[in-house]
C-alpha cells in the first residue's frame, strides 16, 4: 500500500548510490546475493534473542534489495537478475518469522500463522504476475520491475515496519504476527478479486 507512495522519496538517493556503486564496478547480482546472506543472519539473530542486531541486519538486507534494482538498470537488467531478486526476497520474508518462532515457544503458532499468510500473499502475487505477463500487462507504480508487481494492503514497506516493530517490542510478537497475518489474508482476497475482474470476464477458460 505504501510502496508507491514512498517510491518518489527513496528512488533519488538509491539511484545516486547505485551510480556510485556502478562506477566502482559493483554488479547488481552481487548485491542480491549479499542480501541473501544477510537475511538468514538476521533470522539467526532473532532466534538468538539479539533483536537489535537483527533489526540492523533487516535494514541492511532491505538496503541491498533497494540498491540492486537501480544498479541492474544501469548495467542492463536481465531476466535472471529479476528472478534471483524475487527468490531472495521470499527467503527474507520466511526467515524472520521463523527466527521469532524459534526464539520462544509461545511464538511458534503466531509465527506459523504469519508464514502461512506470507505463503498465500506470495502465491497470489506471483500467480497474478504470470497471468499479467500472458496478457501483456505492465506497471511501473512500484518502480520499473522485471515483471508485473500488483499492489495490495500489505507490501514491502508494511512488512519491514512489522519486522522492525517486532524487533523493538519482541514481547508483542504474537499480537503483531496475528494482526499482520490477518491483513495479509485481506491482501490475498483483494488480489483474487482483482484477478477475477481483470482476467475472468470474456476470457476463455484455460485448460485444466
Residue 184 · residue 117 · CB < 8 Å: yes
Select from 5, 3, 31, 38 the least CA-distant residue to 17: 31
Domain locations in the chain?
3-200
Q: What is the pLDDT of residues 10-19, one digit of tens each?
A: 889 999 999 9
Kindly indicate whether the domain formed by 3-200 is annotated with CATH number 1.20.120.1760: yes
Question: Residue 143 pairs with which residues in a beta bridge?
Answer: 141
pLDDT at residue 3, as a whole number? 66
Residue 164 · residue 52 · CB < 8 Å: no
Q: What is the pLDDT of residues 28-58, one digit of tens each?
A: 999 999 999 999 999 999 999 999 999 999 9
Question: Residue 141 pairs with which residues in a beta bridge?
Answer: 143
Report the predicted TM-score, pTM, of the whole model to 2 decimal places. 0.85
Amino acid at each position: 500500500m505504501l510502496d508507491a507512495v514512498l517510491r518518489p522519496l527513496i528512488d533519488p538517493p538509491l539511484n545516486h548510490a547505485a551510480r556510485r556503486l556502478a562506477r566502482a564496478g559493483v554488479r547488481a547480482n552481487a548485491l542480491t546475493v549479499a542480501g541473501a546472506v544477510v537475511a538468514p543472519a538476521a533470522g539467526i539473530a532473532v532466534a538468538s534473542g539479539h533483536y537489535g542486531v537483527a533489526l540492523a541486519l533487516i535494514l541492511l538486507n532491505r538496503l541491498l534489495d533497494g540498491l540492486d534494482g537501480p544498479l541492474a538498470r544501469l548495467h542492463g537488467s536481465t531476466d535472471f537478475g529479476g528472478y534471483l531478486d524475487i527468490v531472495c526476497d521470499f527467503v527474507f520474508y520466511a526467515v524472520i518469522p521463523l527466527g521469532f518462532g524459534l526464539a520462544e515457544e509461545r511464538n511458534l503458532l503466531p509465527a506459523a500463522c504469519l508464514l502461512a499468510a506470507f505463503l498465500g500473499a506470495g502465491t497470489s502475487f506471483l500467480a497474478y504476475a504470470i497471468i499479467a505477463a500472458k496478457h501483456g500487462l505492465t506497471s511501473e507504480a512500484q518502480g520499473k520491475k522485471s515483471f508485473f508487481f500488483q499492489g495490495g494492503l500489505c507490501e514491502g514497506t508494511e512488512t519491514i515496519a512489522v519486522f522492525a516493530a517486532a524487533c523493538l517490542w519482541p514481547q508483542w510478537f504474537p499480537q503483531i504476527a496475528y494482526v499482520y497475518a490477518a491483513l495479509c489474508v485481506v491482501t490475498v482476497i483483494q488480489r483474487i478479486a482483482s484477478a477475477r475482474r481483470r482476467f475472468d470476464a470474456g476470457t476463455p477458460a484455460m485448460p485444466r
